[in-house]
Amino acid sequence: MKLSLSIVLLLISFQFGYTQQTTTISGQVTENGSNLPLPGVSILIKGTKTGTVSNSEGQYKLNLPAGQQTLIFSFLGFESKELKVNGSSTLNVSLSTAANALNEVVVIAYGTAKRSNYAGSVSQIKSEQLDNRQVSNISSALQGLAPGVQSVSSSGQPGTTASIRIRGIGSINASSDPLYVVDGNPFSGDINSINVNDIASVSILKDAASSALYGSRGANGVIIVTTKSGKNSTDTQISANFSTGISRRAVKDYEQMSTDQYFESYWLALKNKQLTNGLTDARARSIASQNILTDLGINPYGANYPQPVGLDGKITAGAVPLWNDSWQKAMEQNALRTQADLSFSGGTDKTQYFISGGYLNDRGIALGSGYRRYNARVNLTTQAKNWLKTGLNISASNSKQDYPMSEDSNTANVINFSRSIPSFYPVYVRNDDGSYRLDANGQKIFDFGDYRPNAAIPRSNLAATVGLDKNEIFKDNVSARVFLEATILPELKLKTTYSGDYLNSNTNDYANPLLGESAETKGSISRSNTRTYSWTWNNILTYEKSFSEGHHLSLLAGQEMYKYNSKYLSGSRQRFGLPGLYEPDAAAQLNDFGGFSVDYTLLSFFGRAEYDYKNKYLLSASLRSDGSSRFSPQSRWGTFWSLGGSWRASKEDFLKDLPWLSNLTFRSSYGAQGNDNIGVYYAYEALYRINNNLGENGLVTSRLATPDLKWETNLNFNVGFDFGILKDRISGTVEYYNRRSKDLLYSKPKAPSTGFTAIDANIGALQNTGIEVQINAIPVQTTDFRWTVSLNASHNKNKITDLPQNNLISGNKLLRVGGTIYDFYLREWAGVNPANGDPLWYTDDANGHKVTTNNYTLAKQYVQPSALPYLVGGITNIFNYKQFELSALLSYSLGGKILDNDYVALMQNGSNPGAAWSTEMLSHWTPENPNTNVPRLTTDNLGWTQASTRFLYSATYARLKNVTIGYRLPKTLTDKIGLQNLKFTLSAENLLTFYGHKGMDPEQTVNGATYYRYPAIRTFSAGVNLTF
């Protein structure tokens, strides 16, 4: 319909073109600066759908109807221009590139600022950088896009978020998560509920000047998400996106032994154990051959080979495994990802609106996992009176996450399960000859493996039960921000904003009564519900005035209150009478019911003053005082502040005339921010946890009194400069920071014999220093081809500068002055004793010399490198050729270590029969192979898989996060069919990974620990985006 209408319009304009009074207008479009002709520029007569496109020389010609005097010139990557013809017949135009960082408006605390005269350190990510990404939430999209940001997606499970660390780790025990601010107010909802396609920009506030105004909660940086708003336009703009794709594992899992290799190796372990027990070699061989099948519980070689491993330790001649089942394959599913979004935006002078709706369905690669979300948003602002403005942003989302257990050592972990069972245990029940046993309906029967040894998870077959069981998380999130802004005097404004975030999270864990572990107990169900409501109400007064001779003053004063309430309920029942019933009522036995709630309040007062002179010199200062309900009345108030200044040197007379320098601005700031997020909400009284006993009230000590516990403070120094050269063909920012955290909120370990394992204390100081570089360049720009490159790199050095007692050991890490907070502290692997195959570790003898021992408990822990990388960042390349666009984002993380405990599960020395075995175990010690890094096999636990440097691997990696090829239909074509824009894309997420330790997904947690995580997934998808 739209198409035919356009054709009619075209026809009309052609038909009547000659009869009406028309003038012809022509000219050339060039690029500002280079003066190269710009082809393909769209030229539209304002208020009509009539227009043309510049030719290869940048020239255009257009018939202009009477009364139509304004032309709009627009071209991708350039700023649009609207020009009046004013009766002339020639109009030459030069367009400037749009990416002019200087005039960029950045969102900052309680307002916006022009990048060019802002003293704080802010990185901004715009919606175009997020458009092509196949990610479900903003935290997963930030990796590699902004300097100073370390983003780690430790789980590939759809619907999970990434951990974000801004400028290093500022706390030891208190949270190091940044504060999320959405549309002006702190956000406590589910970050997954925000549709990435609704986001207009993301600002990352990194230094004191930018984030101190969020004083109480800005210590770890602030991420400000601003959603799209409507624009003043006559037509409502409708935009639709659709993409669909398929996911796979991004990296392959650890390689495992074949059945033959496994049987021969385990035979040897059995034999060696019997030798230890004092038996003769012949007896030991015979017992090993006899016992291997009972230990492993199965004979994959069939009944014809009752003793498949002979006395020589080799597979009997002729014996071949009758099956070789991949549990990994059995535990995978077709992972489809579909996303569809529709939005409407528009408005008048007074009222603007943005309305959107979205759908996402992301099935994970692991059986039974997935994420489905519906979301809707309305953003509305209106100028009610000339002095009164009001607005409402409201968003709602509903999601269901199918979350079969992962990130857990539990055997029901779908990732771990598929890795734990060797391939000689069949997925489906087999007959002795290896053929499938079929049920009455001719169907294969899942094998639950009653006979499997414990390591191979007997009586369980998740491939069968994951579909029957349910592990669901339902989330409903409603977030609203409403404001009223009154102009009291022209310079004086009062804005009051109320925001509420409501999140209801409901989990349902149902174990079926028919098959698997829960069958004996007839199934079980547990439900939990967490209802969280938090609100922020702030009142902000601003005064802004320009004085004569270029003085400009801006003042802000405000008050804010934040309340958080979370109510938790859970219950469980077991014993379902009948299958097909999924609600608790259907289960006969009540197992548990409980719940509690949590309250948290913050009250804050704050102010900021900014002064600038001729846009050249700028000074800013802020002060904020916060009271937190976490601390005792006498120590709950903390005061935070910042000072900052900037100097736009390129505006000075002595630099003004340098032709190659388009911008040079120096900035610096210093200030303090706070952190009260110690993880508990009541951090001052001695507490007794409620622990009832058999119907009687019970209490047990849980916390020691800490009346003096107070805010952790972050002192943040930042200095840097922004530059632009060759008319901003090359631009960038270089910054240095020194972030010192003092009075760290720390759970100081106590001797467990005192009855407490830790006490909360403000102890020690931590320092993060770093350099961040961001460079944007356009190395090539011709008429048809444009190459944009954007590169960022951040180096951070984390250092503990003070501790009340040196050498605090926390698990596998050591905290010490001069070290980082994630320095591994491990027993040092000294290799395998070539004489007897024992594992060896180092220890110190009486004289302090390093000697080896085969007794793990006698081995000494030594300081090892840190888990933290020394350089993280990303490189984005965008190539535009005519209507094509190719973009690639490579993110990297260099340095750091990971202790791979997942791998350890595949490295037992024979003490855990039936446990899957890595191929590396084949290089175990034997008298013939004395020089190796894997000890001898025996069924005794040699303790060698315990934490040591043996399993410490490099964490360096690079990942091609995203590659997208896009094709945009030429304007001439889209105009004809009545569309403003039509674009097709093919994209790949996590396309390639470059790393060292095969099998381990290099993207693990920030502290370098693995924990049976859902691996990263690679998604290929195709999409279409249209606007009309």
Partner 1 sequence: MKSYIRITLFAAVLTLVFTSCKKELTTAPTNAVSENQVYSSADNIETVLNGTWAYMNDTFFTYANPGYTTILRTSDAMGDDVAIITNKYGYRDAYQFTQANNQTRLNAMWTILYKVIDNCNNIIAKTDAASGSEDKKAQVKGQAYALRANSYLNLATYYQFSYLKDPQAKAVPLYTTPTVGSTEGKAKSSLEEVYQLITSDLNQAEKLLAGYSRPQASKFKINIDVVHGLQARTYLNMGNWALAAEKAAAARKNYPYMSSTAYYNGFNELSNEEWIWGHGQKPDQSNASYTFNFLDVSSSSSYYYSFMADPNFKTLFDDNDIRSKLFSWDGRPGREGYLRYAKFKFRADQTGDIVLMRASEMTLIQAEAAARNSDLTGAAGYLNDLRAARKANLFDVTGKSKEDVISAILIERRKELWGEGFSLSDILRTQTAVKRLSYNDAKGDPLQVSITTPDGTVKTVAAKQHTTLKFPDGSPFVPNSSYYLFNIPQSELNTNPNLSN
For partner 1, the binding residues in 296-325 under the rule CB under 8 A are 297
Kindly state the smallest distance separating residue 598's Cβ from partner 1, in Å. 7
Mark the segment that binds partner 1 (CB under 8 A) among 186-194, 314-322, 591-599, 955-963: 591-599
**Interface with partner 1 (CB under 8 A), residue from 22, 290, 398, 504:** 290
**Interface with partner 1 (CB under 8 A), residue from 8, 12, 240, 690:** 690
Kindly state the smallest distance separating residue 543's Cβ from partner 1, in Å. 12
Q: Is 756 in the site for partner 1 (CB under 8 A)?
A: yes
Nearer to partner 1 among residue 809 and residue 1024 (C-beta): 809
Q: Is 599 in the site for partner 1 (CB under 8 A)?
A: yes
Task: Find the helix or strand (DSSP H, E) in which 139 lies.
Answer: helix 138-141
| CA–CA dist 770, 873 (Å, integer) | 13
Kindly state the smallest distance separating residue 524's Cβ from partner 1, in Å. 10
**Interface with partner 1 (CB under 8 A), residue from 589, 923, 926, 933:** 589
CB-based burial, 520-550: b 16+ in 10 Å, e otherwise: eebbbbbbbbbbbbbbbebebbbeeeeeeee
Q: Is 836 in the site for partner 1 (CB under 8 A)?
A: no
* Residue 569 in tokens: 């309920």
The answer to whether the CB of 663 falls within 8 A of the CB of 650 is yes
Q: Is 559 in the site for partner 1 (CB under 8 A)?
A: yes
Q: Is 294 in the site for partner 1 (CB under 8 A)?
A: yes
CB-based burial, 618-657: b 16+ in 10 Å, e otherwise: bebbbbbbbbbbbbbeebbebebbbbbbbbbbbbeeeeee
Kindly state the smallest distance separating residue 529's Cβ from partner 1, in Å. 15
**Interface with partner 1 (CB under 8 A), residue from 436, 474, 498, 682:** 682
The angle subtended at Cα 169 by Cα 165 and Cα 173, nearest 5°, is: 115
Mark the segment that binds partner 1 (CB under 8 A) among 146-154, 421-429, 927-935, 939-947: 939-947
Nearer to partner 1 among residue 698 and residue 996 (C-beta): 698
**Interface with partner 1 (CB under 8 A), residue from 17, 550, 755, 930:** 755
| CA–CA dist 466, 417 (Å, integer) | 11
Closest of 369, 362, 371, 394 to residue 381, by C-alpha = 394
**Interface with partner 1 (CB under 8 A), residue from 679, 698, 804, 996:** 698
Mark the segment that binds partner 1 (CB under 8 A) among 79-87, 222-230, 600-608, 782-790: 600-608
**Interface with partner 1 (CB under 8 A), residue from 494, 863, 965, 1022:** 494
- Report the half-sphere exposure of 11 (CA within 13 A, side-chain side): 6
Kindly state the smallest distance separating residue 696's Cβ from partner 1, in Å. 5
Kindly state the smallest distance separating residue 684's Cβ from partner 1, in Å. 9
Q: Is 753 in the site for partner 1 (CB under 8 A)?
A: yes
**Interface with partner 1 (CB under 8 A), residue from 242, 359, 681, 984:** 681
Q: Is 676 in the site for partner 1 (CB under 8 A)?
A: no
- Angle at which helix 281-296 crosses helix 259-276, to 10 degrees, equals 130
Output the 3-class SS for 311-375. CCCCECCCCCCCCCCCHHHHCECCEEEEEEEEEEEEECCCEEEEEEEEEEEEECCECCCEEEEEE
The answer to whether the CB of 347 falls within 8 A of the CB of 332 is no
Nearer to partner 1 among residue 87 and residue 695 (C-beta): 695
Q: List, in sequence order, every residue forming a beta bridge with 692; answer none if it has no partner.
A: none
Q: Coil, strand or helix: which one is 629? A: coil
Q: Name residue 888's amino acid.
A: A
Nearer to partner 1 among residue 374 and residue 681 (C-beta): 681
Q: Residue 156, class by beta-carbon neighbours within 10 Å (0-12 exposed, 13-18 middle, 19+ buried)?
A: buried
Distances (CA, A) of 658 to 20, 182, 212, 651, 655: 52, 41, 36, 11, 6
Q: Is 697 in the site for partner 1 (CB under 8 A)?
A: yes
| CA–CA dist 313, 648 (Å, integer) | 79
Q: Is 823 in the site for partner 1 (CB under 8 A)?
A: no
Mark the segment that binds partner 1 (CB under 8 A) among 396-404, 594-602, 726-734, 919-927: 594-602
The answer to whether the CB of 794 falls within 8 A of the CB of 871 is yes
Binding residues for partner 1 restricted to 422-451, rule: CB under 8 A:
450-451
Q: Is 382 in the site for partner 1 (CB under 8 A)?
A: no
The distance between the two most distant Cα atoms of the chain, rounded to a whole number of Å, is 114
Q: Is 636 in the site for partner 1 (CB under 8 A)?
A: yes
| CA–CA dist 502, 533 (Å, integer) | 5
Binding residues for partner 1 restricted to 227-246, rule: CB under 8 A:
none
Kindly state the smallest distance separating residue 299's Cβ from partner 1, in Å. 12
Kindly state the smallest distance separating residue 489's Cβ from partner 1, in Å. 7
Binding residues for partner 1 restricted to 758-787, rule: CB under 8 A:
759
Nearer to partner 1 among residue 488 and residue 780 (C-beta): 488
Binding residues for partner 1 restricted to 532-551, rule: CB under 8 A:
539
Q: Is 454 in the site for partner 1 (CB under 8 A)?
A: yes
Q: Is 374 in the site for partner 1 (CB under 8 A)?
A: no
* Residue 235 in tokens: 């037509």
Mark the segment that binds partner 1 (CB under 8 A) among 319-327, 499-507, 690-698, 1016-1024: 690-698
| CA–CA dist 525, 706 (Å, integer) | 40
* Residue 599 in tokens: 């309250």
CB-based burial, 718-741: b 16+ in 10 Å, e otherwise: bbbbbbbbebbbbbbbebebbbbb
Q: Is 495 in the site for partner 1 (CB under 8 A)?
A: no
Q: Is 527 in the site for partner 1 (CB under 8 A)?
A: no
Q: Is 689 in the site for partner 1 (CB under 8 A)?
A: yes
Nearer to partner 1 among residue 703 and residue 1018 (C-beta): 703
Q: List, in sequence order, every residue forming a beta bridge with 243; answer none if it has no partner.
A: 339, 1023
Binding residues for partner 1 restricted to 21-60, rule: CB under 8 A:
none
**Interface with partner 1 (CB under 8 A), residue from 701, 782, 923, 972:** 701
* Residue 422 in tokens: 């060797």
**Interface with partner 1 (CB under 8 A), residue from 89, 90, 521, 782:** 521
Judged by CB under 8 A, the number of residues near partner 1 is 95
Q: Name residue 6's amino acid.
A: S
Binding mask 81-120 for partner 1 (x = CB under 8 A): ----------------------------------------
Kindly state the smallest distance separating residue 512's Cβ from partner 1, in Å. 15
The answer to whether the CB of 112 falls within 8 A of the CB of 133 is no
| CA–CA dist 208, 224 (Å, integer) | 15
Q: Is 913 in the site for partner 1 (CB under 8 A)?
A: yes
Q: List, in sequence order, every residue forming a beta bridge with 717; answer none if it has no partner.
A: 670, 738
Kindly state the smallest distance separating residue 939's Cβ from partner 1, in Å. 7
Q: Is 691 in the site for partner 1 (CB under 8 A)?
A: yes
Nearer to partner 1 among residue 724 and residue 913 (C-beta): 913
Mark the segment that binds partner 1 (CB under 8 A) among 172-180, 202-210, 269-277, 996-1004: 269-277
Nearer to partner 1 among residue 67 and residue 278 (C-beta): 278
Mark the segment that binds partner 1 (CB under 8 A) among 486-494, 608-616, 640-648, 999-1007: 486-494
Distances (CA, A) of 407 to 436, 957, 986: 33, 21, 31
The angle subtended at Cα 938 by Cα 934 and Cα 940, nearest 5°, is: 110
Mark the segment that binds partner 1 (CB under 8 A) among 258-266, 547-555, 753-761, 966-974: 753-761
